């Protein structure tokens, strides 16, 4: 597990984020930040898929939430009751979220995916499992989905469960009586993406969420004058916690536009930055790749991106070459060279908890294997341990563990998962690999995303980046997986890829094999050309390698697999 770079240190791989500053005026629970924001003349702009727009002031948001609160109480909900969200509209989701917060109810967002034939089974399966796990709680949705439920056998098999629509709940009178939540009460339950298909419920308290928000503000110097632009789905931890809750806490302007609109028109991201003079936004690695793919258009058009202060980069493996190319392409559009901020986080630690201010063209190269993601925020500590749970030296790669104010209270009714997730001394096992150098973290992969062949470790993202460097390979739709044939005792390398032009597949198979042998030193055992729809991803584009591995081992790709 040694880091390949030479680095000698006698320091142990522990990094402390320091103390989170508090003042007498700090909010104690989430409801207080919405009430405070409602006194400010700012709010949210929702841009819809047809490019139309809706503005909602924080005052209007509070009123909407109070109407929903009234209706939820009328349905008989009690504090800490769970409410499953399957809500497509960001505005409806946000209003319903705050309606639950005001009543002490616990929203449980289930990732919304368009109900097309190829996606419906996966989405309904997750929804069905969640409703079962929570013993048939209230399902809150929109009228359009509620009308589909009678036609969905998987949900009908559950028997009777309550369904309400946001449209119905808005008919209530505003209820101004806010539940007296406590700092340690669960405020939201986020679901893990679950490579096995069975999600776990991450319980996050008011203290977790406010600690993350306040620490992010303290560490990064955000102010009320900052303007947030977000296309990450609001049911995702980054969209809800990192962007929305922080914006409400500070009373910042928010602009939300749909994830699907970004995928269809990536350059709308730049259009909206310029139009709203946005200062904070976020994209995983694949988002920067989509912008890079528009290189010719970028040369022909002009944007003023000088307002941007903080381009967060996280949620999936950060590839230095991709990030650097993004900075190079947008430099002529007045994008500052220091705005890209690599970060690390996950739902279990309330989204991002490390932030790097050290990424630039001068401090990195295209050949960098890994990208530093910075020091921990106040109130959060990190350490790197070996397989025996012993802290190792700085500069050595090991298992990342986290402790602090933002770490979840546990998984919902899952003692086995909680026992595996936490050490005896209270540290959370993230499942990520990395090293600490001078207090700053670098992620090198996930335990499950490492391919071990003949005793050597290979990182999936290294192999994928090598393949995607070939012209004709569709970026962000390449997956390197460790697979095992029946009766075999060792893993083999399978590379799934999507060609821009299906006629190029034979050439690409040859070139991918050649470049992976040259750059990685490993000859792929299987090369599998697939359509981009075959590559399973989470809501924000993270490839789910385990699903591909399972399908391969169930012989689903035998007819197209090239050895």
Nearest Cα residue to 345 out of 414, 284, 411? 284
Domain residue spans in the chain?
Answer: 14-21+209-447, 63-181, 454-553
| pLDDT given at position 111 | 80
CATH code of 63-181, in short, is 3.40.50.980
| pLDDT given at position 488 | 60
Backbone angles phi, psi at 315, to 5 degrees: 80, -20
**Domain 14-21+209-447 falls under CATH 3.30.465.10:** no
Q: Can you read off the two tokens belonging to residue 119? A: 């996606």
Distance CA 473, CA 58 (A): 45
| pLDDT given at position 8 | 56
Domain 454-553 CATH superfamily: ANL, C-terminal domain (3.30.300.30)
Contacts of 68 (CB under 8 A, 6+ apart): 95, 96, 98, 99, 100, 166, 169, 170, 172
| pLDDT given at position 528 | 93
Burial 178-189 (b: 16+ CB within 10 A, else e): bbebeeebbbbb
Distance CA 20, CA 170 (A): 38
Fold: same for 14-21+209-447 and 63-181? yes
Q: What is the mean pLDDT of each run of 10 residues along the chain (563 residues)?
A: 51 95 90 96 96 97 98 96 95 98 97 56 78 91 88 80 93 94 96 68 97 96 97 92 96 95 95 98 90 94 96 86 94 95 95 94 90 96 94 95 96 93 94 94 81 68 86 90 72 90 89 87 89 81 81 85 77
Inter-CA distances, 246 with 72, 97, 105, Å = 25, 15, 20
- If you search the block for the tokens 């793919």, which residue do you land on? 293
């Amino acid at each position: 597990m040694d880091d390949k770079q030479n680095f000698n240190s006698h320091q142990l791989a522990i990094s402390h984020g320091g103390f989170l500053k508090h003042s007498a005026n700090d909010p104690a629970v989430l409801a207080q930040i919405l009430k405070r924001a409602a006194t400010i003349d700012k709010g949210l702009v929702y841009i819809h898929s047809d490019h139309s727009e809706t503005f909602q002031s924080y005052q209007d948001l509070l009123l909407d939430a109070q109407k929903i609160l009234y209706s939820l109480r009328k349905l008989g909900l009690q504090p800490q009751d769970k409410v499953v969200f399957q809500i497509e509209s960001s505005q409806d989701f946000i209003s319903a979220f705050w309606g639950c917060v005001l009543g002490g109810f616990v929203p449980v967002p289930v990732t919304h995916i368009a109900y097309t034939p190829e996606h419906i089974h996966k989405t309904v399966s997750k929804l069905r499992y969640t409703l079962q796990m929570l013993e048939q709680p209230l399902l809150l949705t929109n009228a359009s989905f509620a009308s589909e439920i009678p036609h969905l056998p998987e949900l009908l098999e559950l028997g009777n469960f309550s369904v309400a629509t946001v449209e119905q709940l808005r008919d209530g009178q505003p209820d101004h009586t806010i539940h007296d939540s406590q700092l340690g009460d669960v405020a939201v339950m986020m679901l893990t993406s679950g490579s096995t298909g069975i999600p776990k419920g991450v319980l996050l308290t008011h203290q977790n969420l406010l600690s993350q928000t306040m620490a992010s503000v303290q560490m990064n110097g955000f102010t009320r004058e900052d303007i947030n632009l977000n296309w990450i789905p609001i049911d995702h931890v980054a969209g809800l916690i990192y962007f929305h809750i922080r914006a409400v806490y500070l009373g910042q302007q928010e602009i939300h536009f749909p994830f699907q609109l970004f995928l269809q028109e990536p350059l709308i991201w730049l259009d909206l930055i310029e139009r709203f003079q946005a200062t904070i936004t976020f994209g995983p690695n694949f988002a920067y790749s989509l912008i890079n793919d528009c290189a010719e258009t970028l040369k022909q058009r002009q944007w003023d991106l000088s307002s941007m202060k903080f381009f967060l980069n996280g949620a999936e493996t950060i590839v230095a070459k991709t990030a650097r190319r993004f900075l190079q392409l947008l430099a002529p559009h007045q994008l500052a060279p220091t705005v890209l901020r690599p970060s690390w986080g996950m739902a279990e630690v309330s989204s991002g908890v490390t932030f790097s201010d050290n990424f630039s063209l001068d401090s990195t190269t295209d050949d960098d294997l890994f990208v530093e993601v910075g020091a921990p925020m106040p109130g959060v500590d990190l350490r790197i341990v070996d397989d025996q749970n012993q802290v190792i030296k700085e500069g050595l790669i090991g298992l990342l563990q986290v402790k602090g104010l933002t770490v979840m209270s546990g998984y919902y009714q899952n003692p086995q998962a909680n026992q595996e997730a936490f050490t005896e001394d209270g540290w959370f096992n993230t499942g990520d690999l990395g090293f600490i150098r001078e207090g700053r973290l670098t992620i090198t992969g996930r335990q499950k995303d490492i391919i071990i062949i003949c005793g050597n470790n290979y990182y999936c993202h290294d192999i994928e980046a090598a393949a995607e460097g070939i012209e004709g390979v569709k970026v962000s739709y390449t997956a390197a997986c460790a697979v095992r044939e029946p009766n075999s005792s060792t893993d083999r390398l399978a590379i799934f890829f999507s060609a821009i032009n299906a006629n190029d597949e034979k050439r690409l198979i040859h070139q991918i094999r050649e470049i992976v042998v040259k750059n990685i030193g490993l000859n792929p055992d299987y090369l599998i050309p697939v359509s981009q729809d075959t590559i399973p991803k989470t809501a924000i584009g993270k490839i789910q390698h385990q699903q591909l591995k399972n399908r391969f081992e169930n012989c689903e790709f035998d007819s197209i697999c090239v050895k």
